[in-house]
């Protein structure tokens, strides 16, 4: 899963990125610190995977990953070349979801490109730039598709009418996600639109505060987006400390509780945007591994996540919820008490299932 981070210059994108990754992307108090895209691959922590691997004595734990793309800030008029322009958006066109970082902290030492802290205005500015950027893509694509459609190409005819509907929506200032993709169209063969992706707003709040500005909450609700709060800078600093030190600091600041670390809120928020569930595999050589799938996916889809060969040769799946496996204390005991089940390819995977796919090579 890939997530792109957008926001105004100095909003705290790189600080959030650092906090998520401790990769040390350069964060500094002048706009446009980030010029090259930064990509970080972050393991998704899951206590259930740890428990399962301890129980089976796994020698190797492989957590599924999520990739964050940090890009340069966008200013009003970026689509017309203001600031650094919007060409950096190309770097996040291929992502599955967008994190929109909004400055909500009031540290006067940190410059704001518009001179004041106003989350609602900033959100609107960024959304407008994203709409313009998509419009540019759509218009360019339309020119080509219209020509192919004129030649009688059926796929092009379908795509043309979709593109025209999207263009109208974008011209009205609304995101592309409002226009359904025709069933007959393969979206991956067309333009990748940023405003078609699900969004998680991250309000970058004052240290020690968890409160999301009400206008940000209202906006997120209105557009069907998720919203969480994080204090990016403090989280990026805490990330560099050892656990004990960080916990102490956290209590001192009253910054988030240890049971719900702010960064976990971001990772979880990103996963729930895409309605993802986790499943686990315990392979030969005792490797325990976590994977993610869209809710409603089947055992056959799960097999495909693991390997296309395994999907191709799918015979059946042995399935047990992770807590039942822990309860039984092992596979053979689980088999005895009947909590280990055999399922076919159409079995709908549940969050927390431990799955072994039997396949013919
Ligand atoms: N007080 C405070 N300062 C922050 C917070 N988050 C970021 N900053 C500071 O704001 C400045 C800009 O942060 P960055 O993370 O570099 O911002 P950015 O959005 O990546 O900026 P560009 O790359 O220029 O678009 C840095 O000096 C950060 O230390 C925060 O939550 N509180
Ligand atoms: Mg940056």
The stretch 181-188 carries a mean pLDDT of 85
From 72, 233, 238, the mutation candidate for ligand 1 (largest count of ligand atoms within 8 A of CB) is 233
CATH 1.10.15.40 fits 296-359, yes or no: no
Ligand 1 atom, smallest distance to 34 CA: 23
Q: Which residues contact 173 (CB under 8 A, 6 or more apart)?
A: 128, 131
In the predicted model, is pLDDT for residue 269 greater than 80?
yes
Closest ligand to residue 28's CA: 1
Q: What share of the chain in percent tops pLDDT 90?
A: 60
User: How far, in Å, is the centroid of ligand 2 from the Cα of 190?
Assistant: 29
Q: What DSSP state is assigned to residue 186?
A: -
In the predicted model, is pLDDT for residue 288 greater than 70?
yes
User: How far, in Å, is the centroid of ligand 2 from the Cα of 123?
Assistant: 17
Closest ligand to residue 27's CA: 1
Q: Note whether 27 and 18 are within 8 A (CB).
A: yes
Ligand 1 atom, smallest distance to 9 CA: 25
Please, which pLDDT band fits residue 259 given cuts at 50, 70 and 90?
Answer: very low
What residue's CA is closest to ligand 1, atom 21? 10
pTM of the model: 0.86
CA atoms of 356 and 342, how far apart (whole Å): 10
pLDDT value at residue 306: 93
User: How far, in Å, is the centroid of ligand 1 from the Cα of 31?
Assistant: 9
Q: Identify the bridge partners of residue 274 per DSSP, sorted by sequence position.
A: none
The stretch 114-128 carries a mean pLDDT of 95
In the predicted model, is pLDDT for residue 31 greater than 80?
no
In the predicted model, is pLDDT for residue 25 greater than 70?
no
The fold of the 2-43+65-128+196-273 domain, in CATH, is Rossmann fold (3.40.50)
Among 162-166, 184-188, 300-304, 356-360, name the one with the lowest average pLDDT: 184-188
**Where does CATH 3.40.50.300 sit in the chain?**
2-43+65-128+196-273
150-182 residue pLDDT tens: 999 999 999 999 999 999 999 999 999 999 998
Pocket of ligand 1 (CB under 6 A): 7, 9-15, 27-29, 31-34, 72-73, 105, 107, 110, 204, 231-233
The stretch 289-300 carries a mean pLDDT of 94
Average pLDDT, the chain: 88
Q: Which residues contact 224 (CB under 8 A, 6 or more apart)?
A: none
Q: Which residues contact 282 (CB under 8 A, 6 or more apart)?
A: 52, 53, 56, 58, 288, 289, 354, 356
The stretch 260-279 carries a mean pLDDT of 82
User: How far, in Å, is the centroid of ligand 1 from the Cα of 119?
Assistant: 15
Please, which pLDDT band fits residue 253 given cuts at 50, 70 and 90?
Answer: confident
CA atoms of 77 and 8, how far apart (whole Å): 12
From 30, 33, 262, the mutation candidate for ligand 1 (largest count of ligand atoms within 8 A of CB) is 33
**Where does CATH 3.10.20.30 sit in the chain?**
296-359
In the predicted model, is pLDDT for residue 202 greater than 90?
yes
Buried b (16+ CB within 10 A) or exposed e, 147-181: eebeeeeeebbbbbebbebbbebbeeebbbbebeb
From 4, 6, 10, the mutation candidate for ligand 1 (largest count of ligand atoms within 8 A of CB) is 10
């Amino acid at each position: 899963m890939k997530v792109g981070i957008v926001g105004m210059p100095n909003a705290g994108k790189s600080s959030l990125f650092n906090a998520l990754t401790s990769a040390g992307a350069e964060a500094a108090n002048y706009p446009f610190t980030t010029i090259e895209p930064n990509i970080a691959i972050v393991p998704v922590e899951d206590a259930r995977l740890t428990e399962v691997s301890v129980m089976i004595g796994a020698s190797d734990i492989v957590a599924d990953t999520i990739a964050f793309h940090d890009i340069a800030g966008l200013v009003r008029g970026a689509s017309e070349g203001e600031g650094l322009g919007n060409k950096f958006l190309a770097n996040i066109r291929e992502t599955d979801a967008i994190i929109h970082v909004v400055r909500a902290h009031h540290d006067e030492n940190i410059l704001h490109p518009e001179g004041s802290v106003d989350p609602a205005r900033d959100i609107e500015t960024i959304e407008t730039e994203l709409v313009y950027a998509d419009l540019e893509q759509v218009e360019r694509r339309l020119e080509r598709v219209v020509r192919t459609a004129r030649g009688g190409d059926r796929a092009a005819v379908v795509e043309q009418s979709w593109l025209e509907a999207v263009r109208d929506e974008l011209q009205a200032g609304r995101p592309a996600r409002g226009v359904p993709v025709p069933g007959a169209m393969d979206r991956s063969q067309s333009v990748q639109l940023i405003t078609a992706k699900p969004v998680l707003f991250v309000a970058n709040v004052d240290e020690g505060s968890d409160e999301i500005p009400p206008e940000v909450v209202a906006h997120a609700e209105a557009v069907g987006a998720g919203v969480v709060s994080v204090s990016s800078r403090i989280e990026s600093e805490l990330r560099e400390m050892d656990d004990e030190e960080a916990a102490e600091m956290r209590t001192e600041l009253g910054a988030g509780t240890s049971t719900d670390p702010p960064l976990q809120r971001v990772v979880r928020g990103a996963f729930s945007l895409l309605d993802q569930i986790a499943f686990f595999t315990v392979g030969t050589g005792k490797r325990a591994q976590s994977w993610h799938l869209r809710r409603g996916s089947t055992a056959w889809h799960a097999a495909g996540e693991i390997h296309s060969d395994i999907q191709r040769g799918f015979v059946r799946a042995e399935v047990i919820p992770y807590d039942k496996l822990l309860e039984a204390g092992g596979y053979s005991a689980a088999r005895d008490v009947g909590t280990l089940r055999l399922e076919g390819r159409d079995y709908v995977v549940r969050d927390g299932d431990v799955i072994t796919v039997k396949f013919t090579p």
